[in-house]
Structure 1
Amino acid sequence: MNSGNQSVETDFILSGLFQYGQMDIFLFVAIAILFSVALVGNVILILLIQVDTRLHTPMYFLLSQLSFMDIMNIITTVPKMATNFLSNSNTITFLGCEIQTFVFLVLGGTEALLLGFMSYDRYVAICYPLHYPVLMNKKIGWFIVICAWASSSINALIHTLYVFHLPFCRSRIVNHFFCEVPSLLPLVCQDTSQYENTILLSGLIILMLPFMAILASYACVLSVVFQMSSGKGQARAVSTCSSHVIVASLFYITGLSTYTRPHSLHSPGQDKAVAVFYTIITPLLNPFIYSLRNKEVIEAMRRLLV
C-alpha cells in the first residue's frame, strides 16, 4: 500500500517515439506535417458542416462528431510528444499521465462506437431510403452520440481509476510516446493477468462488435447496390464502401492488436508503431475518406469560397 501511495508522488518518464538522431529528426518533421494536415482537414470539415445548411443532416452531424474526436485525439498525444522531443525532457506527472490515459480511452472508445453507428446510418439510407427520416433523424443522431460518449466515458473511468491505484514500484520509464494502459502495466509490481482479461473483454465489446457491425452493414449495402441497374452507381458505391472499410479496418485492427493481446506478447517497438496508426494516421485519413471525397462536401466548399 505504501508503494502505491509513493508512486502517486513520482513522475513518469516517456521513452518517446524518437531519439535524437538525424533520421529521428526527419520522422519528427513528417509526424508534425501529418499532424497539421489532420488538424486542418478535420477543422475545415466541421466548419463546412456548421456553415452550409445543406449539410445539416444526420450523416454529416455524425461526421462532424467524428472529426471533433479526431482533433481531440491527436491533440491529446502529439503535442506532448513534440514538446518532449524539442525540450529533451520526457517527464510527465502522475496526474498528467492519468488524465492523458482517461481522455485517450474516452476518445478512442467513442470513435469506435461512432464508426459503427455511422455504418448503420449508411445502411438505412441505402437499404431503407423511405424509412430514413423515421429510423435516422436529428434526435436519434444526438441519442447515438450521447450513448457513445457516455458508455465510453464509464469504461475509461473504470480502467483509469483501477490502473492508477495499482502499485507502481518498478522503473518509472513508460516505453511509449504517451500514457496508455498496456504500456503502464509492465511497471506494476503485482500480477495483472486477471485485469488483462478485463481489458480483453472491453476491447472485444468496444472494438470488435462495432467492427463486425460495419462489415455486416456494408455487406447488406453492397447486396442492395448490386441489384441496381446503374453500373456507374454500383462502381461508386463499391469505391465508397471499400474506402470506408479500409480506414475502419485500420482503426479497429490496430486497436484490437493493442488491447486484446496478452501482456507477454507486447513489444514496445511494435506498440509504438501500431499506436501511430490510430493516433495520427486514422485522424488524417478520416476527413478525406469519409467526406472530402464526397460530392456534397466539395460543392459546399465551392459555395463557401465563392
Structure 2
Amino acid sequence: MSGGQQKNAKLIDKDGEEERCKEGEEQTCQKGEEQTCEKGEEQRCKEGEEQTCQKGEEQTCQKGEEQRCKKGEEQTCQKGEEQTCEKGEEQRCKEGEEQTCQKGEEQRCKEPKPKATPAIDWKAKCEREWKLSDKGISTPDSLDWQCIYGKKPFGRNLLKSPNPEGLSTSVPPPQPSELEPPPMQPLEEIGDFSGWQVTTEHIPVDTSGIPPGVVVCYLPNYSWSIKEQCVDLKAEGLWEELLDSYQPDIFILDWYEDSKLDKHVFELHIKLLAEDQKTVIKEFSHAPENKMSGDTKNWICVSHIFKNYGPGVRYIHFLHKSKDLFVVGFHRTRITNSTVFVQLRD
C-alpha cells in the first residue's frame, strides 16, 4: 500500500480496476464498514467532504449511477434501517407515513390523511333519523348514504325558484296603480324564474257576443303564461326501492291570485312519470272557476297528495298556467309558493 492511503481503509481491486482518490482528497468509512464500487464505476468525494454511514449499515451504489455528497451535507441512515436509492421509486419510513425521494429535493414525512367515514355509518344515521327500518323501507348497501343524507329528500321543496317574485301569501297581492295602466314586462325583469321553462299561449279574441255593425274600441286580449319544470326524484336523494315498494306520499301545493280577470285564471297539471319521462303513471289536473263579482283580491291555495301511485315513478312534471289580460294596459294573474315535497308516513 502507498503512503497516500489512510490507515485502516480497505482498497479493493475488482477485475483489474481500482478505486482512486484525487490528490488532497480522502475517502472515509466508519469503523467496521466496507465501501464497494461496482465494475466500471468509481465513487468520488469532493475536497473537504465526507460520506458517512451509521454503524451496522451498508450503503450500496447501483450500476451506472453515482452517489455524491454536496459540500457540508451528510447522507444519514437511521439505525437498523436500509436506505436504497432506485430511480422512480418511493422510500417509505415510519408506519402510516409516506416519504418521497425526488432528485435534488428534500425528504419530507407527511402526517397520514384521515380516513373517510365508512358508508355504513351514514346508512345507520339515515336509518336512525328517518326510522327506515321501523317503516320496513329497504336500504341497500350499494347506495351512497352520505350523499342521500346530504340531499335531505324528505319534507324539502323539490322545485327550483318556487317563489320567483318574492310574494307572500300572508299579504294580499299587489294592486296596479289607478293612475297609470300597468305596462307589459318580460318575466326576467319581474323576478327569478330560473329552473322554469316559460312559454306564452295567446288565446283568440272572442267576438261572438258583439252584434253586427257595432264598433268596439278595445277588445280584451287574453293569454296564458305557462311555467313548467321536471323534478328528477333520484337526483333529489330518493332511491328506487323506496319509490317502488314503500311509495312515500307526494304533496303538491300552489297559490294563485284571484285576479278576477276572467272566470278561469289558473290551471294546475301534475304528472308522475316513469324512467322514460313519457309514460304517465298518475296525474292530477285542476282548473277552478272563480267568481267575477267582488272587489277583494286574495290568494287561493290548490293542493293534492299522491298516495299508492304504483311502482316505477322517477319524475314529477309540474305545470301551471296563469291568465293575463291586455286591454288598456297589461294585467297579470300572479302565482307564488309552488311546492312539491315527499314525506314518509308516520
Q: TM-score range, shorter-chain basis?
A: under 0.3
Tell me the TM-score normalised to structure 1 length: 0.24
Tell me the TM-score normalised to structure 2 length: 0.22
- The structure that is strand-richer by fraction is 2
Q: Which has the larger radius of gyration?
A: 2
